[in-house]
Amino acid sequence: MSTTNWLEFGVVDRVHGLQGAVVIRISKSILLRNVLTCSTFFLESTDTKVPYPVIRYSPPVQRGMVVWLEDVKHRDEAQKLVGSVVWIQHRDVKTPQPESPLQTLSDYLGYRVVLTDEPCGEEARLIDVRQMPGQIMMEIEEQWGTWLCPFQPAFIVSVDQSARIFTLNPPVGLRSLYISEHED
């Protein structure tokens, strides 16, 4: 016989908008740094817990979050839920694992590289991302050869996924060290 482990998530605080979204005031026992991904919230009605599949929700802000529930389409329906205690099942609680920079950067392989301070060839591309001892390195290929740039979030100016352009601001002089090495 299995027993369900329940965790009190919060209380429906108020209605949000005209299409049935509600604001849930999150219980202080829930850690905001752990973003919860739950497919179903259970709202307490008399002595039972009624399941409400979650369509979507906003990120938690100041112990509250806006939630759109599958079976609630209008403000009047949402109003009936105000004051209900919201429960989740322990097995529904998942803490997403943050992607490592190596995984994230690997998504940009093949993107054209544009430098903010130095002109680089039209054909400059991000061709590899490597985990080296103590540092992740990005390998950029240009017509004259390749060069390595250490990964630091501050060096990445922007990523345009639709245009497949990776804008980079590497340390001053780094690229020219590699160019001078190829000229000899």
Q: Give φ, ψ of 87 to 5 degrees.
A: -120, 150
Spatial strand order of the sheet with 165-168 comes to 145-150, 135-142, 125-132, 112-115, 165-168, 156-160
Residue ranges in the chain whose pLDDT is less than 50: 1-2, 34-35, 92-96
- Token pair listed for 133: 């001892």
For residue 126, the model assigns a pLDDT of: 92
Reading the block at residue 156, the tokens are: 């990445």
* Predicted local distance difference test score (pLDDT) of residue 95: 45
For the chain, domains (ranges, CATH) are: 6-92 (2.40.30.60), 101-183 (2.30.30)
Helix (H, G, I), strand (E, B) or coil at 134: coil
Residue 88 and residue 42 in contact, taking contact as beta carbons nearer than 8 Å = yes
pLDDT at 104: 78
pLDDT computed for residue 75 by the predictor: 93
Q: Which residue type occupies 148?
A: L
Model-level pTM?
0.47
- Spatial separation of the C-alpha atoms in residues 143 and 117, rounded to whole Å: 18
d(CA 76, CA 85): 18
Q: Are 77 and 84 in contact (CB under 8 A)?
A: no
